[in-house]
Amino acid sequence: MTRRETIDPSDIPTGRPSVSVVIVSWNALDIVRRCLPSVVRTNHPSFEIVFADNASTDGTPDWVEANHPGVRVIRHSENLRFTRGNNAAVRQARGRFVVLLNNDVEVDPDWLSPLVDRMEADPSIGAVQPKLMQFDDRDRFEYSGASGGYLDRFGYPFTRGRVFFTMEDDAGQYDQAGPVFWATGAAVMFRTEVYVAAGGLEESFDMHMEEIDLCWRLQRAGYRVEAVPESVIWHIGGASLPSTSSEKAYLNFRNNLLTLYRNWPRRVWLRRFPVRAILDVLAVLRAILAGRPRESAAIVRAYRDAHRMKSSFTASLPPSAPGADADSVEVDTPYEGSIVLDYFLFGRRTFSELPRSRFRGGYLRP
What ranges do the domains of the chain cover? Answer: 9-235
Q: Buried b / exposed e across 111-131, counting CB within 10 Å, b at 16+? A: bbbbbbebbeeeeebbbbbbb
Q: How far apart are CA 26 and CA 36, in angstroms?
A: 14
Strand partners, 159: 149, 162
CATH number of 9-235: 3.90.550.10
Q: Buried b / exposed e across 35-64, counting CB within 10 Å, b at 16+? A: bbebbeebebeebbbbbbbbebeeebbebb
Strand partners, 227: 129, 178
- Assign 348 to helix, strand or coil: coil
Q: Which residues, other chains included, contact 304 with Cβ-Cβ below 8 Å and sequence gap of 6+?
A: none
Model-level pTM? 0.92
Predicted confidence at residue 291, as pLDDT, reads 94
Predicted confidence at residue 3, as pLDDT, reads 34
Q: How far apart are CA 155 and CA 162, in angstroms?
A: 16
Q: How far apart are CA 268 and CA 275, in angstroms?
A: 12
Distance of CA 322 to CAs 171, 239, 263, Å? 36, 38, 21
The number of C-alpha atoms within 13 Å of 161 and in the hemisphere containing its C-beta is 28
Q: Which pLDDT tens digit goes with each residue over 30-42?
A: 999 999 999 999 9
- Whether the per-residue pLDDT at 325 is higher than 70: the answer is no
| Mean pLDDT, residues 292-307 | 96
Residue 9 binned pLDDT confidence (cut-offs 50, 70, 90) = very low
Q: How far is CA 62 from the centre of its chain?
A: 28
How high does pLDDT run on average in the chain? 92
| Mean pLDDT, residues 259-270 | 94
Residue 113 binned pLDDT confidence (cut-offs 50, 70, 90) = very high
Cα 135–151–333 angle (5° rounding)? 150
Predicted confidence at residue 240, as pLDDT, reads 63
Lowest-confidence segment of 70-84, 256-270, 273-287, 308-322 by average pLDDT: 308-322
Predicted confidence at residue 21, as pLDDT, reads 99
Residue 4 binned pLDDT confidence (cut-offs 50, 70, 90) = very low
Q: Which residues, other chains included, contact 42 with Cβ-Cβ below 8 Å and sequence gap of 6+?
A: 21, 107, 109, 111, 112
CA nearest 116: which of 104, 98, 94, 133?
Answer: 98
- Whether the per-residue pLDDT at 2 is higher than 50: the answer is no
